[in-house]
Chains A and B, each alone.
Chain A
Amino acid sequence: MEFVEHATRNLFFTGKGGVGKTSLACATAVRLADAGQRVLLVSTDPASNLDEVLGVQLGYRPSPIPAVPGLSAMNLDPAASAAEYRERMVGPYRGLLPAAAVASMEEQFSGSCTLEIAAFDEFSRLLGDASATSEFDHVIFDTAPTGHTLRLLTLPSAWSGFMETNTTGTSCLGPLAGLQAQQKLYQSTVEALANAEVTTLILVTRPEAAALREAARTSGELAGLGVRNQHLVVNGVFQATDVADPLAVAMQARGEQALVELPEALRELPVTQIPLTSAGFVGIESLRNLGNLTDLPAPPPVAAEEAPAVSVGLGSLLEDLTAAGHGVILAMGKGGVGKTTVAAAIAVALAERGLRVHLSTTDPAAHLSGAMAGEELPTLTVSRIDPQVETARYSAEVLATAGAGLDDSGRALLQEDLRSPCTEEIAVFRAFAEAVDEGRDHFVVLDTAPTGHTILLLDAALAYHREVTRQSSQMPDAVAQLLPRLRDPEFTKVLLVTLPEATPVHEAAQLQQDLRRAQIEPWAWVINQSLTPLTVTDPVLQSRRQHERTYLDEVTGSLSSRTVLLPWHATPPTGLEGLRSLVAG
């Protein structure tokens, strides 16, 4: 593992959700700390799992990990950073300004825009300000799934560019105005990212076509930003021990095939392969073993145990989903758990009953067309909420309405404000509200972005809902109705998708809590890619199958009152035929 042996100061782990970024980032951090280095491990994922993998409660300041001398870890907590940022901006004026004025300032600094800016500001500080991390030899970033990370990494360029070219001064810097002094910091962040002596980008993937495609895309986009020191890690490479187990043989073949078809963009990169293990990496000791895995003894065979009574396949959900005749079905959960596949399977099943269905996604990295394999149905439309397209559409709309009566310089002023990075947030949010609005007359199945992003979207919904109740004018109906609709169990059905593993289950449980705080009650849980309903004889797979049991019991026992199980498929369930098989079970 070249990137560990000659580690640069900054190490970035990125990749599709569920590929093992957190485990690998932790294992690397433990390795470097064990070798005597002082290491800071940072998660930038709004839905961080660092705590669970390290087995400690982390805050948003570095805290030492007792079991690993030299290692400190922290979560970049956007809410906490935002609260701190808000206090920094507002605090000095308590007592100097009337209470009502202070309260209205606080309110202004509570939007999702502030949340994102605060997280970004903190991230820039860790990456661009050497004095902030001077007590560490290495800073390791465990990042949120790709879409969010790309955004985080492009912001230093976008915002420092915006501030440089913004000529009107009082124009739309929004909460960014307070950060204008930090422009230098953003500049050095961009430089640090591009310096191969300082930063290594580790693209983590599974030996699966979709994850490899995404790694290739990320590699290209980041190279475009100047991040060229890249390394590929293929995690979970499976070697069948029992060649009489057809599933094991198919699984190995599927991985090998994906690696043979390695996308062009990845072929030049140094590669590390990590074998699939019988259980996930949770806890320091198992992290210490990562990388030495070939020396581990094969797990002992496990006696077959009776599977818990959970319905297999999406079929049992369909009757109730169809009943209302229209509405919104949201697939939510951690990245990489198969939300896109589940959403597509439900959309196809409804459309094949002759119902009108619109399948869409808010995930910038989702591939609905891949799930459909290019196949079509007469009553099914497929689309994607594309941030660039939505931003252009929103800008055009604003110019045509609010900008209609303006003279040339007025329009130029408005156009300049519309180039603000906040515009994209608003545009995507409005597109989401419009998609939900469509559920009034037919079915809308939405595949959402990974948890962190979904939470931001919900925060925006809550913030705007407060604004709606305060001032009823000027609000598009789709936005005004969004939260009431998401809260209406007849209108919206939320499916929490997970894998039968620790982190995805616990992340979904956390999401369920967040949804409940927003008064949205999840409708059902879908446990995807389960070995439990299948017959396996390979020892690694048997042991994984056994390992699933804890999480199945946890979901059915305490988290969900309506659960379905989807079996693991030897070939990815894409196209109409593959998606149908998920319904049948």
Chain B
Amino acid sequence: MKHVQIYDKPMCCSTGVCGPQVDPVLPRFAADLDWLKSQGHQVERFNLAQQPDAFIANPDVHQLLATQGTDCLPLVVVDGAIVSRKGYPSREMLTMWAGPAGAATATLPVVKPSGGCCGGAACG
């Protein structure tokens, strides 16, 4: 089981239905996380407007926020390591990082906090 944490921008709802137009990426990602949970992984989701404490509690997240501002959000953290920034990864990426439930995962395409892009379809 992996511990997956998402640090979102300040937002009203995780599916974006409260905005003037729903970004289809948001409900898709919410569904992906739900699926990930159903695979037995532990999933936590924080948004800056509603759970700011979580952003302070994680030193890496706090550090990134201080140097790059809110542009780095959303961040995806798997077992304490930041694996993606600035976008919502696909279900395939989540599977790669988290692997099948209970199984040990192979090498992860982890991005270093100072590194470039998230290395997946989520950039852009």
Contacts and interface: CB of A to CB of B under 8 A. Distances in A.
A104 B9 contact: yes
Interface in B4-22: 9-22
A107 B10 contact: yes
Interface residues of A, number: 50
Contacts of A420: 13, 17-18
Given A98-B66, A101-B55, A402 B23 contact: yes
Contacts of A111: 12
B21 A479 contact: yes
Contacts of B21: 474-476, 479
A97 B53 CA distance: 9
26 contacts: A97-B55, A97-B56, A97-B65, A111-B12, A172-B15, A172-B17, A175-B12, A401-B22, A402-B22, A402-B24, A405-B24, A407-B31, A407-B35, A410-B35, A413-B15, A414-B30, A417-B13, A417-B14, A417-B27, A417-B30, A418-B17, A420-B18, A426-B17, A467-B20, A474-B23, A479-B21
A464 interface: yes
B49 A109 contact: yes
A104 B27 contact: no
Nearest to A172: B13
B26 interface: yes
A467 B23 CA distance: 14
Interface string A428-472: 011000000000000000000000000000000000100100000
B95 interface: no
Given A93-B52, A101-B69, A175-B49, 7 more contacts: A89-B49, A97-B52, A105-B52, A403-B27, A410-B31, A414-B31, A418-B17
B112 interface: no
B105 interface: no
User: Top 8 nearest A-B pairs by Cβ distance?
Assistant: A410-B31, A172-B13, A108-B10, A100-B69, A108-B49, A174-B12, A402-B24, A402-B22
Name the prevailing secondary structure of the A interface residues.
Answer: helix
A96 interface: yes
Contacts of B12: 108, 111, 113, 172, 174-175, 422
Contacts of A96: 52, 56
A383 interface: no
B49 to A, nearest CB: 4
Interface of B: 9-24, 26-28, 30-32, 34-35, 38, 45, 48-50, 52, 55-56, 62, 65-66, 69-70
A517 to B, nearest CB: 21
Contact of B70 (A101, A109, A403, A426): A101
Contacts of B55: 97, 101
Contact of B18 (A93, A98, A423): A423
Contacts of B56: 93, 96-97
B35 A173 contact: no
Given A93-B52, A104-B48, A178-B50, A414 B65 contact: no
Given A172-B12, A178-B50, A413 B31 contact: yes
B13 A174 contact: yes
A162 to B, nearest CB: 12
Contact of B27 (A97, A101, A402, A426): A402
Contacts of B27: 402-403, 406, 410, 413-414, 417
A549 B89 CA distance: 68
Contacts of B22: 398, 401-402
A125 B69 CA distance: 36
A418 to B, nearest CB: 5
A140 to B, nearest CB: 34
A100 B48 CA distance: 11
A104 B14 contact: no
Contact of A410 (B17, B30, B45, B62): B30
Interface string A167-196: 010111111011000000000000000000
A409 interface: yes
B35 to A, nearest CB: 7
Contacts of A411: 31
A396 to B, nearest CB: 12
Interface in A310-352: none
A474 B45 CA distance: 24
Given A97-B52, A104-B48, A476 B14 contact: no
Contacts of B34: 168, 409-410, 413
B35 A409 contact: yes
Chain A CB within 10 Å — which of B17, B18, B62, B70 has the most? B17
Interface string A377-413: 0000000000000000000001001111111011101
A186 to B, nearest CB: 19
Given A398-B22, A409-B34, A171 B14 contact: yes
